[in-house]
């Protein structure tokens, strides 16, 4: 075998080079996968890993990438059911990586998204822990280390991250996001944090706009407590801090160019 991507086979009709995992004509019969060259191997989809012909390459070593390696260590910890995470700089062998199947990666991604690798959708499990974009990035990170990086997964060989099983799983997560049942986007989380619940007046300072109004009142002669009380007088003492902040943000646009309620102008 030469390099990572090409292997030379001798067949009855001559010698030819076939790209590793390339689309060589395949015949399916009685559970056997038979090429035109006459070689056979079991061909159960998703099972059995890669054929032994692809598993021996003394020149191959795991590539390094500091950005992607944490995701690979997470995956291998999940697959090997390790209680402790693998240490930084851990190197996995070609044989270990060739044992990975789409089902392994699917279970790991489901764990990241649903909090379990066997989510019960009918009983309300939803992908609230990770966005589909994050799952795509995790899949891309793992793909970088696959010995058979480029071929699609087919008949138990190739790149397991390119299996249709994973594509469908991530597609389902996207559908939940569209329906508002998935993990919030970063922008929505930031917006929610600005108007987050809080029982003290200091929560006003989480929003720059609210702080500007309070600072304006303080500069006009109010102290801190008087400024906060004045805002409560406008919106009502019974209204929660969260709702007051939300109202101030809405009225910033409603009362342009003054950016606040008339009773708060100084």
Please give the chain's pLDDT, 266 residues, in tens. Answer: 434 443 333 334 443 444 444 444 433 333 333 333 334 334 344 444 444 444 456 788 999 999 999 999 999 999 999 999 999 999 999 999 999 999 999 999 999 999 999 999 999 999 999 999 999 999 999 999 999 988 899 988 999 999 999 999 999 999 999 888 998 876 665 555 554 444 444 444 446 667 777 777 888 887 877 877 888 788 877 777 777 777 777 776 666 666 677 777 76
Task: Tell me which residue has tokens 């969260």.
Answer: 242
What are the extents of the domains in the chain? 69-178, 187-264
Query: Rg (Cα) of the chain, in Å, rounded?
Result: 29
Decide: pTM greater than 0.75.
no
**pLDDT at 108 (0 to 100):** 98
What element of type H or E holds 260? Answer: none
**pLDDT at 106 (0 to 100):** 98
The token duo for 79 is 């697959």
Separation between Cα atoms, residue 219 and residue 229, nearest integer Å: 15
Count of Cβ atoms closer than 10 Å to residue 223 Cβ: 10
Name residues whose C-beta falls within 8 Å of residue 18's C-beta, 6 or more positions apart in sequence: 6, 7, 9, 24
Sheet arrangement for strand 40-42: 26-29, 32-35, 40-42
**pLDDT at 179 (0 to 100):** 87
**pLDDT at 175 (0 to 100):** 94
Phi, then psi, of 72 in degrees rounded to 5: -65, -40
Using an 8 Å Cβ cutoff, are 51 and 41 in contact?
A: yes
Count of Cβ atoms closer than 10 Å to residue 88 Cβ: 9
**pLDDT at 15 (0 to 100):** 39
The token duo for 103 is 């089902």
Phi, then psi, of 170 in degrees rounded to 5: -70, -35
**pLDDT at 209 (0 to 100):** 67
Count of Cβ atoms closer than 10 Å to residue 87 Cβ: 7
């Amino acid at each position: 075998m030469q390099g990572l991507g090409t292997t030379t086979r001798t067949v009855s009709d001559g010698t030819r080079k076939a790209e590793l995992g390339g689309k060589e004509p395949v015949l399916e019969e009685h559970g056997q996968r038979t090429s035109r060259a006459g070689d056979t191997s079991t061909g159960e989809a998703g099972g059995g890993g890669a054929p032994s012909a692809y598993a021996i390459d003394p020149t191959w070593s795991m590539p390094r990438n500091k950005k992607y390696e944490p995701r690979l260590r997470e995956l291998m910890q999940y697959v090997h059911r390790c209680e402790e995470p693998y240490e930084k700089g851990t190197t996995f062998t070609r044989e270990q990586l060739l044992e990975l199947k789409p089902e392994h990666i699917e279970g790991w991604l489901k764990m990241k998204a649903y909090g379990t690798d066997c989510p019960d959708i009918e009983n309300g499990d939803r992908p609230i822990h990770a966005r589909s974009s994050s799952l795509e990035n995790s899949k891309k990170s793992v793909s970088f280390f696959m010995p058979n990086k480029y071929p699609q997964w087919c008949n138990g060989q190739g790149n397991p991250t390119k299996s249709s099983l994973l594509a469908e799983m991530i597609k389902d997560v996207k559908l939940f996001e569209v329906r508002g049942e998935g993990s919030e986007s970063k922008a929505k989380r930031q917006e929610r944090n600005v108007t987050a619940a809080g029982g003290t007046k200091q929560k006003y300072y989480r929003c720059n706009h609210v702080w500007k109004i309070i600072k304006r009142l303080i500069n006009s002669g109010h102290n801190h407590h008087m400024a906060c009380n004045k805002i409560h007088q406008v919106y009502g003492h019974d209204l929660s801090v969260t709702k007051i902040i939300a109202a101030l943000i809405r009225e910033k646009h409603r009362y342009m160019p003054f950016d606040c309620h008339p009773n708060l102008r100084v």
